[in-house]
Structure 1
Amino acid sequence: MVPALLLRNAIRSQWRFLAISATETPTKAQLTKAARVFHTKKRLGQNFLVDPEVLSRIAGALDLNESDCVIEIGPGLGFLTRFLSPYGCRILAIDLDRECVEELQKSNYKGVEVFHQDFLQFDLNSIECQSLKVIGNVPYQITTPIVARLFGEIGAPSPWLSKIDSVVMTVQKEVAERFVANPNNKEYSQITLLIKYFAHAELLEVIPADSFVPEPNVTSAVVRMTPYEKPPVDCADHKLLRQIIRAGFKQRRKMLRNNLSFLNLPPDEIGKLLASLKIDPLVRAERLSLDQFAKIANAVTALK
């Protein structure tokens, strides 16, 4: 074994005791040292959160008890796992990085099961739990696919949506603002409406870049999403609602009337339909609420 590798393994043995101890609360300095020893992989979007106070608050945001079953997406070296484990719940830690999985498997955290798998391919129905809570510092480039995997799409919920009690995710601040945006806001988008359709979303806190190793080029934020028992809008055709929302944001600077041309209705008729709902035909999609989109879908359905 080459000297450099011997040194690396020796350092890892040290930080495993200091930073990933199941009995001692690590300091930010210890977690920072551990993260710097590990060779992070940019292609996997790895930025390890090393502030123990923030980690503790994120774990607490799930409101855990011993009977809970937690899915942790991208646990990395187990820094957040360390703060979840004392709650005594079952934790399923899913990571694509084999090296992280091997390190986490060496920990002695209570109730943790480690899976070397891509979360986007993981079958949540394979887990024998009546309900699930989901948490993770997710790679920013796949935030939207992860949300879609958890919730599904409008009119086509995921097979496991009914099992999900709550989701706490650390994401890019701009993305978090989209999740919780309201109409007439530049962050308001198609993903905003998808989340509003499935869950109540709230921004819990903003995390500065220096809380991570390596430091990302963006500010991060923690979002909590609590799924509804059923969609909060009355809609006769939810798939049509999805189509109308997609069309509205496909060219978001265009007037809504023009974006609804896919309905194969004369422009004047589309204008009259919108006016009957007290919606300006010249309005852009970013100014409409989920309820207003649902009313448009219902009005179109009534014409059939």
Structure 2
Amino acid sequence: MMDLREDALALMDYLGIRPKKRLGQNFLISKEAIKKICDTADISSEDVVIEMGAGLGFLSEELVRRNPRKLILVEVDRKICSYLERKFEGKAEVLCMDMMSLLPSKEFSKIVSVPPYNISSRLVSSLLKSDFRKAVLVLQKEFVGKLKARPGTRKYTWISVLSQAVFHIEIAGYISRFNFIPTPKVDSLIISLVPKGISRDIIETLFRVVMTAFSKRRRKIGKILPIKDRRIAEKRSINLSPDEFLEIALSIGDKIERSYSNKKDVYRGSSWHL
């Protein structure tokens, strides 16, 4: 196995840093995984690429070699930022900030990220309303299971519906927990998200429909929302497919928008809120 463990330890010692638990820092040290991530991103000379959470810069180095039109590296750790600015001067723009503050944005075509596990839900939620052509993410295996969960299963939740309705989701590879330093307690998967081209207005309406439905997930959807199609109305929320939720959003969009315009959104500020 080709890994960068010794390089990572030497660099952390040189910079005088240790992985910060509060920042969810687990640095990827597998050359094979880094290559797979970049291959999946399929970067061209026309792409504006953003790496969210650049860490020690090992993935960044490979992204530079792929020769995008522009590369933006985002990192919140100030010591690491200073190092990245020196290392990639003239090759990439380095932004020292919280990656989540950049979304939504229309300034890039490809997104690459090995994010902290504890922001996975927030990150995917934010990507739902962002304008990009492809995102390649390394996420906890269990969380990817939720993204791809089928209707009627225990893992099927609001994030399953929204993600599958808005994105084409593909699993590109597996990464063992032992390919990170420090070693996390979970394994990871490389996934790609390619938007289906659904408009922002429809996504906003879909969100409200899904939010309402999953607040009473075991009730028949016809008892929760004004649905004329009896075939759909008789189903419980947890048994509806993403396409059926999208059909509901398209058919009752105006009604649900009016109902929300006259009340406070109780989910504002939570990971449900788009």
Instruction: Assess same fold via TM > 0.5.
Output: yes
State the shift of 1:95 in Å: 1.0
Report the aligned-residue RMSD. 2.8
Distance 1:292 1:208 in 2: 36
Distance 1:52 1:288 in 2: 41
- In the alignment, which residue of structure 2 is the partner of 1:133? 110
User: Which residue number corresponds to residue 207 of structure 2?
Assistant: 242
Find the residue that maps to 2:33 and give its secondary structure.
helix
User: SS at the partner of 2:112?
Assistant: strand
Task: Give the fraction of aligned pairs with identical amino acids, expressed as a percent.
Answer: 27
Instruction: Specify which of 137, 143, 146 is matched with residue 120 of structure 2.
Output: 143
Q: Which runs of 5+ in 1 are unaligned?
A: 1-25, 153-157
Deviation at 1:109, TM superposition (A): 6.9
- 1:205 equivalent in structure 2: 173
Match of 1:97 in 2: 77
**Distance (whole Å) between structure 2 residues aligned to residue 113 and residue 238 of structure 1:** 31
Provide closer, same or farther for how the CA distance between residues 124 and 138 of structure 1 changes in structure 2, counting only shifts above 3 A: same
**Residue in 2 that maps onto 1:106:** 86
Partner of 2:271: none
Q: Determine if contact 1:85/1:110 at 8 Å carries over to the other structure.
A: no
When the two structures are aligned, how many residues end up with a matched partner? 250
SS of aligned partner of 2:152: coil
For normalisation by structure 1, the TM-score amounts to 0.72
What is the aligned counterpart of 1:78 among 46, 54, 57?
Answer: 57
Per-residue deviation at 1:214?
Answer: 0.6
| Matching residue of 2:152 | 184
Q: Partner of 1:170: helix, strand, or coil?
A: strand
- Equivalent of 2:32 in 37, 44, 53: 53
TM-score in terms of structure 2 length? 0.80
The answer to whether the 8 Å contact 2:30/2:180 transfers is yes
From the superposition, tell whether residues 296 and 95 of structure 1 become closer, same or farther in structure 2 (CA, over 3 Å). same
**Is residue 251–residue 259 contact of structure 1 (8 Å, CA) maintained in 2?**
no
Aligned pairs for 1:245-264 within 5 A: 245-252=210-217, 254-257=218-221, 260=224, 263=225
In structure 2, what is the Cα distance between the partners aligned to 1:35 and 1:247?
49
Larger Rg: 1
Answer yes or no: is the 8 Å Cα contact 1:248–1:259 preserved in 2: no
Taking a change above 3 Å as real, the CA distance of residues 88 and 256 of structure 1, as seen in their structure-2 partners, is: same
Is 1:165 matched up with 2:117? no
Name the CA shift for 1:124/1:245 in 2 (closer, same or farther; >3 Å).
closer
| Aligned equivalent of 1:33 | 9
Structure 2 gaps of 5+ residues are: 257-274
The CA deviation at 1:280 is 6.6
